[in-house]
Amino acid sequence: MKGVTPLFRIFDVEKAKEFYIQFLEFTIDWEHRYEAELPLYMQISNGDCVIHLTEHHGDCSPGSAIRVEVDHINNLHTKLISKKYKYARPGLEDEHKEMCIKDPFGNQITFFEKVSK
């Protein structure tokens, strides 16, 4: 087996781009629609983290959750809080080095830094 690519259901392309591209600083790798008025399917990435966002109702359900390992979670937390994003002000759970954020569609991303034991 190789890597896993999670799918998140989205309902509003502009809100999704505001959250994932502007706030979390992912990059749009590609976008696909079968026709102009049909639902969007797109790939975004940040480093080695790749996520597919889909408007297609049969692809997945809203409310999914993933965990993403990061280096220097304190720096990520400080950067995100400093943006004063209107819809998310994530807290940092210091003991476990985790930060949970929900996107505008109820999907949850938990960023974590491995803690040495």
Per-residue pLDDT of the chain (117 residues; tens, 9 = 90+): 998 999 999 999 999 999 999 999 999 999 999 999 999 999 999 999 999 999 998 889 889 999 999 999 999 999 999 999 999 999 999 888 999 999 999 999 999 999 876
Closest CA to 109 of 43, 24, 14, 17: 24
What pLDDT is recorded for position 103? 97
> How are beta strands 49-54 and 65-69 bridged, if at all?
unpaired
Closest CA to 12 of 65, 67, 55: 55
Instruction: Please give the domain boundaries of the chain with CATH numbers for all domains.
Output: 7-112 (3.10.180.10)
Three-state DSSP state, 42? strand
For residues 99 and 110, give the distance between their C-alpha atoms in angstroms, rounded to a whole number. 6
What pLDDT is recorded for position 117? 67
DSSP state at residue 116:
P
